[in-house]
Structure 1
Amino acid sequence: MQRALVDKFKESAQSVLPIAAIVLLLHFTLAPLPSGTLVLFLPAIVLLILGMGAITLGADMAVMPMGELIGAKLTESRNLWLMILVSFLLGLALTLAEPDLQVLTRQVPAVPDFVLAGTVAFGVGIFLVIAMLRILFQVRISHIFILTYALVFIVAAFTAPEYMGVGFDAGGVTTGPITVPFILALGAGASAVRAGKSTEEDSFGLCALCSIGPILAVLIMGVFFDPTSTGYAFDTPATANSIGELAALYAGGMVGFFLEVCLILVPILVFFGAFQVVNLKLPRGQLIRIGVGLVYILLGLTIFLTGVYIGFMPAGTYLGHAIASLSNNWILVPLGLVIGSFIVAAEPAVHILNKQIEDLTHGAVSRRVMMLALSIGVGIALVLGMIRILTSIEIWYFLLPGYAIALLLTFCVPQIFTAIAFDSGGVAAGTMAAAFLLPFALGATDAVGGPLLLDAFGIIGLVAMMPLITVQVIGLVYQIKMRRAEAADRKQARETFEKENTEIIDL
């Protein structure tokens, strides 16, 4: 247990420290942070590392076993309506506990937190049902992507423009440290019971489908919810001018978030308890392990959210505002390229995905090539995001052609690469995107005087979009490599056959 916790802290440190280094580098060069903001930021680095480590360990101990067990039981039961009900309720409950979603909702004051969180969770629940039914009925995943994204852009044409960016951001943040392990485990459990030849392919694509639900749900909400009714006021970043203020801010945050997280986790406990009594009937030792995992999640979420809100977000907001206020604020564009490369390399889940692809392709597509493709893709996404902030170009002009290219590529690459590519979008738009990129974009947009809901939101959506293209391009390259190798093998076999026949004739 202790060794596992240390490993998780190392992983979370790899995720947080590169971004912290960028913040400190900008502090000492382009945009010095106020002393009060810097004092809040430094403890937040430690809290984020501790919080993320505890959350991921808790997910391994509790969320993943729950997902595998429930997925297997649901598939074994052959009860379609039970599968639909359980998948929906679990998707709803786990999404509400997702830390990335909590970070996003607090940055969208145009909508009450509970309304936005509930809308996003409802979307995940519906599309988790669709994902499970796809495994059960073996529907080609690329067809679902084409149909659902077509529906997304049709609905987007009728929704309030302010919700376009928020919707795509919501799709990115729902694939975080709580939902991803559960969804992958649920799919693995269901696929293992089916034990068909496409089991490996079925394990991918669930996270991608669950990312579509929040986009569609928020866009539908935007048809009925007027963003101008509550307005959007830019909040001045918090500061601490003494040790007493620093301690008071963090202590108050810890208490407040502990109570919130307790309420968030109650539905998960109630649901799993009911499923345990009726169906699972797990032994005591396994229940204790799951219980300990949930305690880690409770403590981790409390620590993580406190660090994000009290220290990390104010620093990101101030830096974005300060750099965009410079006379040569065009530096945001190359800076976006650099930050994008660091952010995607800092996500632990990205390294896991890259290893899976290397194993799947037997080394034909290496981890180094995948990391390069993802770094380029996320870097380009942030370049586009910074250009949007400086020019106020509508997000339509980026998302529509981007997704059109991604969906066209689904006709050209192996199906498994399509599923991996759409999963990788959510992986790339990880925790750091919500905790640092969005506050940075909000600060920069405020500095240039742009509309915050229109220009700042959507940056996470762009980060989630670009890997759909770059990973499928890698899949296309892999397919070409394989065809060339097969052609070379056939040619060699033909030449060997002809040579042997010639020798027989000569005899």
Structure 2
Amino acid sequence: MSGSAQGRVRLSFGDTLKILAPYFYENLFEQLRAIWFIVAYLLLFQILVLGLPIVHALMIGVGIGIVALGLMFFMEGLRLGLMPLGETIGAVLPRNSSLIVILGFAFLLGLGATFAEPAIAVLRSAGAGVQPDQAPLLYSLLNDFASQLVAVVGIGVGVAVLLGILRFFLGWSLKTLVLPLVALMCALTVYAHYSDVLQPVLGLAWDCGAVTTGPVTVPLVLALGIGVCRIVGDGDSGNAGFGIVTLASLFPVLAVLLLGMWHVQQDDYYGQPNYTGTVAVATVQRAEAPAAGSATEPTGFSKDEFQKFLKNGVPPSDYRFRFEGGESMLVDGRIVLDDATLVLEKRQLLQANVVSRATWDPSVDFARELHQGSISALRAIVPLCIFLLITLRLVLPERLRNRDEIFIGIAFSLVGMSLFMLGITLGLTPLGTQLGSNVPLSFATLTPWGAEGLREPLFESEVAGKLIAAIFGFFLGYGATLAEPALNALGGTVEKITVGAFKKSLLMQSVALGVGAGIAVGVIKIAFNIPLEYLLIPPYLLLLALTAISSEEFVNFGWDSAGVTTGPITVPLVLAMGLGIGANVPGVIDGFGVLALASVGPIITVLTVGLIVSRARRVEQGLSGRGVGAVP
């Protein structure tokens, strides 16, 4: 027997599991730690504040566990497979290729990474509740032209990565690209505001910018940016990669707006002469105030209910009483009714009884959902990996190193994304939709999700109830942002770049406050049915001014801070929650726009704090300079 064979250690399957178990446990715990707050907060709000149980609780719990397991495999797959490919190409491509080839690769990388984003699948399914007669173009974009929508979003990201890399070669300031781009987006938004057809598309367009900056796109484009900066930069890679994420969140907005305008010119959306699609829309029940004489008026007790009352003397749960006739008198501080008749009437506007107490939704086909998630993962990840491997083979003369590890990483990514898609279907989407549908209960009469019968608002004042809903949105955004692992990493990078002037904790708090405020404004937008452009354009105009007067370093990570807040957990939950709220507020067409407002908030807070930090640093340097000059 050879020496190498003698030295080889053979492990049983059980021993292998014992060795790998701590590793997988640590990674799974990391994902659970990132999502526990947002899930617990949503559960407690529905149970304690709204007073409603969680329908299909076991299914949602299993789904959330599958999400954590899927993210564990997916993120580990990125680390082992896709990230090394991206970093290797980013380091070698600038040396071995021309600028045209590098820019072409950057465009294709952005395009392919967008298709691999888990949140894109959520965007595909977001059009189920849109009524075509209320928003025909929005309905067609999400249903008839869904593939076009995803394609133009990917093209927008591809153009963003291309310009981001070109910026490093030419030494452009990020302001050079951001200021005119945001001004153009605001102008197109104002134009769409005056079009009844385009106006409902604004929320979708601006939300698309938040969907694209996820766990696939950001690491890959940053790896490419860092590699390019090491070749064409001045050796300082601390600022490398900043700005690409910003552009990747802005260009999709522009792309979707242009797509909508193109279809308006073609007259091929729902209800127009050139429309060729089919309408299959699920009826969306909206909460409307019960009209007099409608079916929601008390219909009276049945004979069976009356017989039960005679038998045990206990009236049914949904009733109200009043007195008829008689004489009312005030006697010793008491109201006495003499010779009056007590009448019990049935009332349907009290606590709703949850119909479905099943712990699992029987309509969910587990095997079918897993199969669809696996197909989506193959379509998203395999083409991207093939593209990266072919590119690497063309630019690298030698064989790929650590091939086994890279292919294991790709397999992990496929398994992780398949499980993640299944977890979204079983856990995140039902939880977000259920809570979003029930949040308007604080200010509106509605039927709770999974229940029968109407329930009155929790607060007598409609305005107070809407403000409570906004406060709920604020703490949801604040807590979920602090739990994002990417924000923690960004905070450490920023503290290093600013040499401790902008502390990690200060950045995290600034971003979390901005996201919380953005989601709160998003809830107010839906609750009061305020057009998105009224709440979005003023902050972006303010951002133009803040960007113009801020230093380059603060502009770079200030604008990129919005990208780290829209993680794989936050996007599906907030999107489902917004659509759920919108479906239960009278007059609201959709629930888009919350993600867009959650993205603009942190940029404002970070740039504002950055100006304060810069001013304090200048004052400190000035005092230090005068002190040095005074020394003999």
Deviates more, 1:334-343 or 1:472-481: 472-481
Q: Which residue of 1 aligns with 2:59?
A: 40
Distance in 2 between the 1:56 and 1:36 partners? 30
- Paired AA for residue 615 in structure 2: I
Q: Which residue of 2 aligns with 1:178?
A: 216
Deviates more, 1:360-369 or 1:330-339: 360-369
- Does 2:506 match 1:468? no
Contact 2:85 2:389 survives alignment (8 Å): no
Deviates more, 1:185-194 or 1:155-164: 155-164
Q: Could you tell me the percent identity over the aligned residues? A: 27
1:325 to partner: Cα distance: 2.6
Q: 1:67 to 1:235 in 2, by over 3 A?
A: farther
- Does 2:558 match 1:421? yes
TM-score normalised according to structure 1 size: 0.91
- The 3-state SS of whatever aligns with 2:502 is coil
Deviates more, 1:32-41 or 1:186-195: 32-41
Contact 1:421 1:472 survives alignment (8 Å): yes
- The 3-state SS of whatever aligns with 1:416 is helix
- Paired AA for residue 96 in structure 2: S
1:33 to partner: Cα distance: 5.4
Deviates more, 1:312-321 or 1:269-278: 269-278
Q: 2:625 aligns with which of 478, 490, 505?
A: 490
Q: 2:165 aligns with which of 132, 135, 138?
A: 132
Cα distance per residue 1:46-79 (max 9 Å; x no partner):
1111111221111122222222222223322351
Contact 2:522 2:597 survives alignment (8 Å): yes
**Number of aligned pairs?**
493
* Residue segments in structure 1 that go unaligned for 5+ positions in a row: 501-507
1:243 to partner: Cα distance: 5.9
Contact 2:64 2:423 survives alignment (8 Å): yes
Q: 1:254 to 1:196 in 2, by over 3 A?
A: same
Q: 2:150 aligns with which of 117, 127, 135?
A: 117
Contact 2:43 2:54 survives alignment (8 Å): no
Greater relative CO, 1 or 2 (CA 8 Å, sep 6+): 1
Q: 1:487 to 1:43 in 2, by over 3 A?
A: same
Q: 2:396 aligns with which of 280, 285, 289?
A: 280
Contact 1:16 1:432 survives alignment (8 Å): yes
Distance in 2 between the 1:142 and 1:240 partners? 55
Distance in 1 between the 2:390 and 2:97 partners? 19
Q: 1:144 to 1:465 in 2, by over 3 A?
A: same
* Bigger share in strand: 2
1:478 to partner: Cα distance: 2.0
Larger Rg: 2
**Mapping of residues 63-142 of structure 1, within 5 Å:** 63-109=82-128, 110=139, 111-112=142-143, 113-142=146-175
- The 3-state SS of whatever aligns with 2:575 is helix
Contact 2:66 2:420 survives alignment (8 Å): yes
Q: 1:7 to 1:363 in 2, by over 3 A?
A: farther
Contact 1:99 1:301 survives alignment (8 Å): yes
1:292 to partner: Cα distance: 1.3
Q: Which residue of 2 aligns with 1:156?
A: 189
**Mapping of residues 2-401 of structure 1, within 5 Å:** 2=20, 5-31=24-50, 36-109=55-128, 110=139, 111-112=142-143, 113-159=146-192, 160-196=198-234, 199-225=237-263, 228-229=270-271, 233=282, 241=358, 245=362, 249-281=365-397, 283-326=399-442, 327=457, 328=459, 329-330=465-466, 331-401=468-538
- Does 2:467 match 1:434? no
- Paired AA for residue 362 in structure 2: E
- Paired AA for residue 508 in structure 2: M
* Residue segments in structure 2 that go unaligned for 5+ positions in a row: 1-18, 129-138, 193-197, 272-278, 286-355, 443-456, 460-464
TM-score normalised according to structure 2 size: 0.74
- Paired AA for residue 214 in structure 1: P
Contact 1:33 1:315 survives alignment (8 Å): no
- The 3-state SS of whatever aligns with 1:202 is coil
- Paired AA for residue 145 in structure 1: V
Deviates more, 1:69-78 or 1:426-435: 69-78
Q: Which residue of 1 aligns with 2:322?
A: none
Q: 1:240 to 1:415 in 2, by over 3 A?
A: farther
1:209 to partner: Cα distance: 0.9
Contact 1:254 1:302 survives alignment (8 Å): yes
* Bigger share in helix: 1
1:217 to partner: Cα distance: 0.8
C-alpha root-mean-square deviation of aligned residues, in Å? 2.4
